[in-house]
Amino acid sequence: MNTILVLNGPNLNLLGQRQPETYGYETLEDVARLCEAACAEGFTVRMLQSNHEGQIIDWIHEARGTAVGIVINPGAFTHTSIAILDALNTYDPPVIEVHISQVHKREAFRHHSYVSHRADGVIAGLGLEGYAAAIRRICQIAAKGAPA
């Protein structure tokens, strides 16, 4: 078991195609490449995206016993989904929440995250580099048994 699950929520399939002033010009494929490059030897990345809350929950359930950590950008579900929080609460290994934009500089409704109630780390505003930092941290914890 050396897989790190990278989950992306709604609309992130459009990364690089719309709102470049907020989310930049790079695509989700670029995120996948960046994550793979950030992965320590012996670890692999499984990169997934869905616009559907239930699908994301099913993937979190599947990660139990199969993934050493989860990097999650829940998209707008960050601010609405107690169901995703509940699913993450069934998962013991490290969870790192990533936001491409600095959500705290944006509208007030983006300031609260249900997922942050579970996440071991939260990264916002570092652009795609946030994913790479999250991958490096999970590799570090998984390799050394460091506390999450």
For ligand CA2, what does the binding mask look like between residues 49 and 88, x meaning CB under 6 A?
A: ------------------------x-xx-x----------
Instruction: Pick one of 18, 92, 144, 145: the residue that binds ligand CA2 (CB under 6 A).
Output: 18
Closer to ligand CA2 by CB, 15 or 132: give it: 15
**Is 23 designated active site?**
yes
Own/partner pairs for 28-36, CB < 8 Å, 24+ apart? 30/128, 31/6, 31/128, 31/131, 32/6, 34/128, 34/129, 34/131, 34/132, 35/4, 35/6, 35/71, 35/131, 35/132, 35/135
Tokens representing 8 are 């992306």
Q: How far is the CB of 76 from ligand CA2 (least distance, A)?
A: 4
Closer to ligand CA2 by CB, 64 or 112: give it: 112
Closer to ligand CA2 by CB, 21 or 41: give it: 21
**Is 25 designated active site?**
no
- Taking the C-alpha atoms of residue 75 and residue 58, their distance in angstroms, rounded to an integer, is 17
- H-type alpha helices, 26-128: 28-38, 53-63, 82-88
In the complex, the residues that contact ligand CA2 under the rule CB under 6 A are: 11-12, 14-15, 18-19, 23, 73, 75-76, 78, 99-101, 103, 110
